[in-house]
Structure formats: C-alpha cells, structure tokens
Amino acid sequence: MGNGRSGLFAATGVAATGIIWGVTWALLTPGIEGRVVDDGRAVAIGDATAEFGAIARFFCLALAAGVVLAIVFWYPPVLRGPLGVAGLSAGAVAAGIIAVWVGDAVARQRVSGRDGVAVGGEFTQPPTLRIDGAHLEALGGLSVSWVLLAVAPLTALVTYFLLVVMNREADLGHPSSAASASTGE
C-alpha cells in the first residue's frame, strides 16, 4: 500500500470510527427525563445517574475506538513508526470530535427536548457529554468535556505501543527500511 493510499485508508478509518462511535453512543444512551416547573425552568425527574451514564458510555466507546484506531494505523506498514504515531494521535482526537458532533446530532434527532412543553409537562432531554468545570465550547456552541477527548488517543497510543513491542521485526515491517537494508544503504 503506497503512502497516498495508506493516508486515505487511515483518514477513512478515522472518519468511520468517529461516525460509528457517535451513532452508537447516541443510540445506546437514554435521554434525561424532566418536568417544566416554571417558564424557562425545569427539573430532572428520572434516573439521577442518567448524565453520568451518558459520560460512562462515551468513555467505554472511546476505549474501543482507541484500539480500533491503533489497528487502523498499524495495518499499512508505511504508517508504522513516528509518522504513524503522530497521525494516530491527531486522528484519535479528530475521531473523538466527529463522535461528539455526530452523537449530539443523532441524540437531538432521537429525543425532542423541552421546547414547547407547557408548565407542569414532562419531557425527555437529549443526553449530554458536559462535565462542569472541564468543558470546551466548540463547533458553534456544542459543549464537550475535554477530558473525554483524551481517552481515545491515550488508549490508541498504548495499543500501538503494544503492537510495536509484540512485533518481531526490527524494522516493524516498514517497506522503506527493508528496501534500504536490501540495497546496502
């Protein structure tokens, strides 16, 4: 696989992982039940752990996404080494941002929210990935906890490191290293 095809493979893997991660989170995470008590004010009435559950699901999916991304960047031998590590780090953050954006969009389509609900009425609000005190405002007001964007890259790098350690070839199977060795350079 050439450099261009390997890069395209990795970019496609990042995008697909982020989309699958986000859709899976949005479909597995229930909404937050609430009741409107005054104009502009509402209280949660359902499971008190719903917000924590949304974050926990995203965290677990981030662990799985990190492993998948490490394999995506390990598969093409040309991406093994420093270039692969840099691409993997950036790709895992990008996949997390894609997952947040897609997950939020799917959750908002799946769950209506409290708009238009009269005082005393009940509603279901989309799940959130916001941790008070540890969030970034990004993508036009979409708020996400930055801590959650660190899980996939860290998992991916640990997995990639394990793949390096388990490899029996000194050049990690990198084609340019093998070509240099065979020509005596």
Report pLDDT for 181.
44
Q: Are 100 and 142 in contact (CB under 8 A)?
A: yes
pLDDT score, position 135? 57
Domain range summary for the chain, segments of one domain joined by +: 3-31+48-113+146-183
Q: What are 27-61's pLDDT values in tens digits?
A: 999 888 888 888 777 777 877 677 788 889 999 99
**CA pair distance 15, 158, nearest whole angstrom:** 21
Among residues 155, 143, 157, the alpha carbon closest in space to that of 103 is found at 143
- With bands split at pLDDT 50, 70 and 90, how would you rate the model's confidence at 134? low
What does the pLDDT look like over 140-185, one tens digit per residue?
A: 555 566 678 889 999 999 999 999 888 877 666 666 644 444 444 4
User: Which residue did the predictor score with more confidence, 73 or 50?
Assistant: 73
Q: CA–CA distance from 58 to each of 26, 43, 51, 107, 172 (Å)?
A: 9, 24, 11, 13, 32
